[in-house]
Amino acid sequence: MPLDSSTYALAHLRVDGRRWKELRRIHGQMSTQAAADGSSYFEMGNTKIICTVLGPRQPTKSGGRDQSREAIIEVEIGVAGFSGMDRKKRSRNDKRTQEMQYTISSAFASTVFTSQYPHSTITIVLHVLSQDGALLAACINAATLALIDAGVPMQDYIAACTTGSTASYASNDEDADPLLDLNGMEELELPFLTMGTSGGEDKVNVLVMETRIQMPRLEAMVSVGLDGCKQVRNILDGIVREHGKKLLSSR
Amino acid sequence: MTSLKRSYASSTTPSTTLSSKTYLRTLRSGKVQKVVRELYLRQDIPCSSQLCSTCIDLAPAGFHGKQDPPVLSATPAGTTQYPQGHYLVPDTNAFLTAMDLFEAEDAARDVIVLQTVLEEVKNRSLPLYHRLIALTKNEGKRFYVFFNDFRLETYVTREAGESINDRNDRAVRKACSWYGSHLQDAVKARQSARCPAVVMLSDDRENLRKAKEDGLIASGLQDYVSGLPDADRLLDMVAASRDQRATRDEKAKMVYPEYMSMSAMLTGVKAGSLHQGTFSVSPYNYLEGTVHVPAFDRPLIIQGRENSNRAVSGDIVVLEVLPKDQWKAPSSKVIEEDDLTKNENAENEDESAEGVVTEKERRALQEEVKRAHGKVAEGKPQPTAKVVGVIKRNWRQYVGHVDKDSVRSEAKQSRAQQTVFLIPMDKRIPKIKVRTRQAGDLLGKRVLVTIDSWDRDSRYPVGHFIRSLGELETKGAETEALLLEWDVQYRPFPKSVLDCLPAEGHDWKVPADTADPGWKGRRDLRDLLVCSIDPPGCVDIDDALHAKLLPNGNFEVGVHIADVSHFVKPNNAMDKEASLRGTTVYLVDKRIDMLPMLLGTDLCSLKPYVERYAFSVLWELDQNADIVNATFTKSVIRSREAFSYERAQLRIDDQSQQDELTQGMRHLMMLSKKLRAKRMAAGALNLASPEVRIEAESETSDPVDVKTKQLLDTNQLVEEFMLLANISVAGKNYSAFPQTALLRRHAAPPKTNFEELANQLKVKKNLELRSDSSKALADSLDTCTDPSDPFFNTLVRILATRCMMSAEYFCSGTQAYPEFRHYGLASEIYTHFTSPIRRYADLEAHRQLAAAIDYEPLDASLQSKSKLEAVCKNINVRHRNAQMAGRASVEYYVGQALKGRVLTEDGFVMRIFSNGFVVFVPRFGIEGLIRLRDLGGGKEVESVFDAEEYSLSFGERKVELFEKLKVRIEDEAEEGTGKRKIKLSLV
């Protein structure tokens, strides 16, 4: 039985040795699959995602002509059976997966200039290779990179991260510190929320919380989350710029 | 295709380096998981010594900007070995074997607890881990947790082929060497001369050797403690080290069979070939234990030491049922440990080549078996079993005294270490072998010890001494002993708890201004004629009552309960302490409060003539005492008078009193009688337990006499309305919180519980006891009378009470509605609401009710089923322990009251064994065993035991069950121990 999150109070150190406001190691690459219109590979700690973007293109679905004046963003998430601690196959109709798909789709609908592509579909396909917390946040970040790689015009990056609180809901500890970027073990034990912002920290595109938390603690979590999203945005920006440099020099 | 390979070099922040660890873990289900976790190694974890100036800037700050000050003192204490002062770095074994030493007030300060060690302690023993965490929070002890596995310099990777233990030992050594050099640098920077030594404490020879090789300062536990002042006392707190155990292993032979492996046991239990349950030892026969297992109605019997295989009462064990030819009836003989094994030698037990079962024990058992085969007595033989393994030890600290005979007489003044036997107060616990250097001092004292281990080669468990409570039979020592024995938290409230009290202290008053926030949502009931009725001298007044006649002929009745939840807010230190204590414990001369005095006896207490906050339940009752409606409200009341039961009774009976208050009380009395009649008709039980009151001399509080408690109508008056309030509140809370209401239930007893008693009544008195329902039981109990003896009915009720299940608190989401039933009260739903000053359950019910009436939002802890279940579990245990402690206290005082007196009293035979019988003396509420051997002046008397007729004949005398006889009561100091005991004998 390794130590759990209850030892945070002893020395302000989390289960993996981080402080409360530190992100995990973030690593990303773009254009990883030549065949796709846009693709990326993204890691937040041990959460690893491959993302490919198809489109914008004509809707492939048969039946009923699409009359919409805006592009539709479709999201497909495939969770690999080996990605978690236990080998488990998630079905396509898994409710959690569906909810994540919906969240990602509506988040990007607000930042992609969808009106430029009437009667078309943009498909974001996400493959989860490994899960260790912040799954939704990592998916959003990976999709941002892949969309940029595909050259889809959008207002800004959506950068996402999770924030939590050091004490569980029931322990009702007022001095609980907010935590940035929870890993899988912390997510199991602590209340947390996922947020995604664009434009630095001006606009919150995604805010999802499934656990309970006392109101007074929420404010601190949100402010730490905004700050975390800003950091993530800078990292994403760095990845994009580096990729751009490489493209230019190879020409 | 672009490579997905990544480099570890690119890390997020410059101060951390990434590493990862991978390990396997086995789940309880047998599944193996591979866990991969990241590790961020950093260089900003402070050493936390006040000597070090570089680490001060490193001290981490949380979100709220609070920084932890350095923990370790700049001038730690020195010893003879380390005159320059020292910091201790214990390894895991040191904590496992000597936690009591580290907890000792005056030893082991400035301790560095390594993360590696903390983790290992957690793996090995959760209770010890919690004690260690508590120590790190104790500021005076200066324990610092150093996260060595997160610091770059001290992180150690496991090498190929290295065992995890070796890796951890290496991590400890590395941390020690880092601390050593780090401190030297710090001292150099300060230019002071004195550099404290960093002492690694270990019990592992190999680890010590390697540490010495690396040039570290390291010491074995024993060696280290020997260098401390007061070493003798402290040494006793260290459990026998592995070294000593190892050397003994070689020559000792195994006296107990080996346990099965954990996985084999779990598979066996799952498959149904083995059984799991809690081991409990018969209080009359220490060689016989019983275990209730789900597979059988009746408990399995475990006979003899070999079969019980080192299980101690309370352990969770796994059993294998023995073949049918070894089945037998439960023992009908009294066997006490000190009779049989009086002369054993604690020092060199392997010389007495008798193995695990001594010759005497074997003979005692043999007689049993013979009789079991001889005739089918007391029903059929029951399945017997043997213990094949222990799932969980439930060892605690035990209070007892040192067996005088086990101390070498010539050594009484010496300081040499010797092994002595400690005889626990609890008869079901075996003697404990304790090594001590202060045997002479400990003789005749109450001592606290703990069991460390029970190895296969030792006939008795091995333990170590914790502390002495004082002389045997002194009031202080005996009271503390029974508090410890029943795990009652009796220390004064810590400062953090007292800080939660209102700042005004005793001057706190209900605000005069009704616009004050305290008045928000409260009804002003100050003009009601409220009074309280309690036992004489009661200071923590929980409840008050009022009644008045309404114009429509109905009655308005109010029960007003102290509003404790106003003062005790959820989750503060006071609430946590109260939830831990669970209940106030009443001893004869002492009360151990759940809440601090200020609240319990003043601010919350509904004292007369002053205004107090209350939580009121108001009913409109019609002439038949049926509820027309009920309302619940927070309120302010002013009690007009605090009556004792007697005075209230006198006032009601005194027809010259015609004031409104007395009229109200008469209404209450009338209604309570109707309520009671209705309850009885519904099948509520009227049970009895022997209750006595100690009359004490007012000055010295020495007991002078014992009286049985008297019950007046006013007692029942209060009881009826409290029950009514509890039932109403239970219904309200349940409807508001169907999943998380805290309720109390009393399960119907299984039929088999009454079989024995019913049979006894049938055989001896030709009476029938039916137990199909509580109504049937109540009715048949009423018929169990003996015209010649009015007490006989009470006796039957006492015996019936013992067949009952005990009532318990539970969380409504964990049971189905039909299971909510309170059997004894014949109520569908019940909770405790009326005594929040002295019971934590009531406090929680108050909070739930306040939320149910929208007075305030419900705290999170009361919405979580798992949290509530934990609370229920704790208060159930505390409640039972408090009762036991109270009873033990009465017993002790009865003993003191009878000291030096010889009395002849009436007694009743409650139980018959083949070599003695148990007599109950109602006058003092005591139960005592009369053994034939004592009647015969030390020799066994020829006797005939008839188990079917429940009689025992010896000489010309024949004793039968339920027989009334005269007994002589005297007290007797036991020779071996100097312990006082009440002794009964036949006249």
Residue whose entry in the numeric block shows the structure tokens 């004031």: B659
Q: Do A85 and B61 touch (CB under 8 A)?
A: no
Chain A (143-172) residues lying within 8 Å, Cβ to Cβ, of chain B: 169-172
Q: Residue B627's closest CA among B544, B729, B534, B745? A: B729
Q: Residue B815's closest CA among B735, B726, B744, B731? A: B744
What the block records as the tokens of A4 is: 């759990």
Q: Residue B606's closest CA among B659, B666, B566, B549? A: B566
Residue B935: C-alpha distances to residues A142, B338, B342, B761, B952 (Å): 90, 19, 21, 27, 13
CATH topology of domain B71-248: Rossmann fold (3.40.50)
The span from the CA of B606 to the CA of B613, in Å, is 8
pLDDT at A54 over 50: yes
The per-residue pLDDT for B753 is 81
Q: pLDDT tens digits, residue range A129-169?
A: 999 989 999 999 999 999 999 999 999 999 999 999 987 76
Q: Do B34 and A26 touch (CB under 8 A)?
A: no
Q: Do B16 and A18 touch (CB under 8 A)?
A: yes
What residues have CB less than 8 Å from B65, skipping those under 6 apart?
A: none
The span from the CA of B484 to the CA of B564, in Å, is 28
Which residues in chain A are contacts of B41 at CB distance < 8 A? 17
Count residue pairs from A and B with Cβ separation < 8 A.
113
Which residues in chain A are contacts of B145 at CB distance < 8 A? 7, 10-11
What residues have CB less than 8 Å from B672, skipping those under 6 apart?
A: B716, B717, B720, B721
The span from the CA of B390 to the CA of B393, in Å, is 7
- Which of B1, B15, B36, B38 is best to mutate for the A interface (most A CBs within 10 A)? B38
- Ordered by start, the domain boundaries in chain B are 71-248, 252-348+367-394, 395-472, 495-681+712-742+824-888, 898-986
Q: Do B38 and A24 touch (CB under 8 A)?
A: yes
**Is the separation of the CB atoms in B876 and B809 below 8 Å?**
yes
pLDDT higher at A199 or B654:
B654
Give how far B134 is from chain A: nearest CA, Å.
11
Which residues in chain B are contacts of A2 at CB distance < 8 A? 119
SS3 string, B760-773, reads HHHHHHCCCCCCCC
Taken as a whole, chain A contains a residue count of: 251
Among partner residues B6, B41, B861, which is closest to A17 by beta-carbon distance?
B41
The answer to whether A216 contacts chain B (CB < 8 Å) is no
Strand, coil or helix: B823: coil
What residues have CB less than 8 Å from B107, skipping those under 6 apart?
A: B101, B225, B228, B230, B234
B212-248 per-residue burial string, b: 16 or more CB within 10 A, e: under 16: eeeebbbbbbbebbbebeebebbbbbbbbbbeebeee
What is the band of A49 on the pLDDT scale with cuts at 50, 70, 90?
very high
Whether the domain at B252-348+367-394 and the domain at B898-986 fall into the same CATH topology: yes
- Which of A4, A6, A16, A32 is best to mutate for the B interface (most B CBs within 10 A)? A16
Which domains does chain A carry? 13-250 (3.30.230.70)
Which residues in chain A are contacts of B70 at CB distance < 8 A? none
The per-residue pLDDT for B244 is 54
Among partner residues A26, A85, A183, which is closest to B38 by beta-carbon distance?
A183
What residues have CB less than 8 Å from B242, skipping those under 6 apart?
A: B93, B97, B203, B204
What is the band of A228 on the pLDDT scale with cuts at 50, 70, 90?
very high
The span from the CA of A23 to the CA of A94, in Å, is 29
Q: pLDDT tens digits, residue range B807-824?
A: 899 999 888 898 899 988
Residue whose entry in the numeric block shows the structure tokens 């302000």: A12
Closest Cα in chain A to B857: A214
Among partner residues B20, B33, B61, which is closest to A86 by beta-carbon distance?
B33
Which residues in chain B are contacts of A3 at CB distance < 8 A? 115, 118-119, 122
Which residues in chain B are contacts of A1 at CB distance < 8 A? 122-123
Q: Residue B157's closest CA among B19, B277, B44, B51? A: B19
The answer to whether A214 contacts chain B (CB < 8 Å) is yes
Residue B55: C-alpha distances to residues B39, B49, B62, B199 (Å): 22, 8, 17, 21
Q: Do A34 and B62 touch (CB under 8 A)?
A: no
- Which of B12, B153, B858 is best to mutate for the A interface (most A CBs within 10 A)? B12
Across A13-42, average pLDDT:
91
Average pLDDT of chain A is 88
Closest Cα in chain B to A16: B39
Output the CATH code of domain B898-986.
Answer: 2.40.50.140
CATH code 3.30.450.40 for B252-348+367-394: no
CATH code 1.10.287.70 for B395-472: no
Among partner residues B13, B36, B66, which is closest to A46 by beta-carbon distance?
B36
Which segments in chain B show pLDDT lower than 70?
Answer: 1-16, 21-30, 193, 239-253, 330-333, 335-380, 408-415, 688-710, 936-941, 973-980
Strand, coil or helix: B827: strand
Q: Do A183 and B33 touch (CB under 8 A)?
A: no
The per-residue pLDDT for B620 is 94
Q: Residue B898's closest CA among B922, B924, B918, B921? A: B924
Closest Cα in chain B to A33: B1
Q: Residue B589's closest CA among B447, B483, B470? A: B483
CB atoms within 10 A of CB B28: 6
- Which of A18, A44, A223 is best to mutate for the B interface (most B CBs within 10 A)? A18
Write phi, then psi, for B462 (nearest 5 degrees): -105, 135
Side-chain half-sphere CA neighbours of B915 within 13 A: 18
The answer to whether A222 contacts chain B (CB < 8 Å) is no
The answer to whether A61 contacts chain B (CB < 8 Å) is no
Q: Do B118 and A7 touch (CB under 8 A)?
A: yes
Closest Cα in chain B to A212: B860
Give how far A184 is from chain B: nearest CA, Å.
9
The per-residue pLDDT for B351 is 40
